[in-house]
Amino acid sequence: MINIVLFGKPGAGKGTQADILKKHYELFHISTGDLFRYHIQGSTDLGILAKSYMDKGDLVPDKVTIDMLEETVTQNSNVKGFIFDGFPRTTGQAEALDAFLTNKSMSITATIALEANDKILTERLINRGKTSGRVDDQDENKIRNRFEEYNNKTAPLKSFYSTQGKFYSVNGIGSVEEITQRLTRLIDGFL
């Protein structure tokens, strides 16, 4: 099994690359952002709760996010592997994921960060907001808050995974194809 965590700030291109990589390696793609948006569309209790955080650019509480993630993995256990996109985003989530996977005799193969600077990321998000309808992409203050959430809560995961020897960094600036090539060159080394 190969289990990849795609890591990076909002707008880094995790969703775009995960979509390509899942087909290339036949992996199951789990995007916590997409799962939340799915629940919001269906107006489930989980969706209503998540929306109150997401619209402000805040992270959804760990317990809610972890339960949803674990349920999705459990429901899809007969796959070649997973691409986790947007999870884990806090040390609590990373610890919960490790414990959960260990319990299932699984583990993270690698955590790969897509790196790009805030200026480029903000431009990408504002652009996406024009067509995605995502409230959190349409306002620079909300985008700034998401970067702050990332710096405060998610960035510490670099050392969490580095300590395990599982942290890799890839230049996230360039064409979609160029970035895919950088990623596949790296991931092919884990097969």
Q: How many residues line the site for ligand ADP (CB under 6 A)?
A: 18
Q: How far is CA 23 from CA 28, 107, 150, in A?
A: 9, 21, 28
103-141 as b/e: b if 16+ CB within 10 A:
eeebebbbbbbbebeeeebbebbeebbeeeebebbebee
3 touching ligand ADP, by CB under 6 A = no
DSSP per residue over 59-82, as a string? PPPHHHHHHHHHHHHHHT-SSS-E
Closest separation between CB of residue 26 and ligand ADP, Å? 22
* Contact with ligand ADP (CB under 6 A) among 89, 157, 167, 179: 89
60 touching ligand ADP, by CB under 6 A = yes
* Contact with ligand ADP (CB under 6 A) among 11, 30, 82, 116: 11
The tokens for 88 are 């884990």
Mark 125-164 with x for binding to ligand ADP (rule: CB under 6 A) and - for no binding.
-----------x---------x------------------
Phi–psi pair at 56, nearest 5 degrees: -90, -10
Closest separation between CB of residue 94 and ligand ADP, Å? 10
Closest separation between CB of residue 87 and ligand ADP, Å? 4
93 touching ligand ADP, by CB under 6 A = yes
Q: Nearest to ligand ADP by Cβ — which residue?
A: 33
Residue 89 a catalytic site member: yes
Closer by beta carbon to ligand ADP, 10 or else 172: 10
Only segment of 53-61, 110-118, 155-163, 167-175 that touches ligand ADP (CB under 6 A): 53-61
111 touching ligand ADP, by CB under 6 A = no
Q: Looking at this protein, which amino acid is placed at residue 174? A: G
Closest separation between CB of residue 81 and ligand ADP, Å? 19
Task: Answer yes or no: are the C-beta atoms of 170 and 112 closer than 8 Å.
Answer: yes
Q: Packing angle between helix 62-75 and helix 91-103, nearest 10 degrees?
A: 30
H or E, element range at 39: helix 32-41
Q: Looking at this protein, which amino acid is placed at residue 12? A: A
The residues carrying an active-site annotation are 14, 89, 128, 134, 146
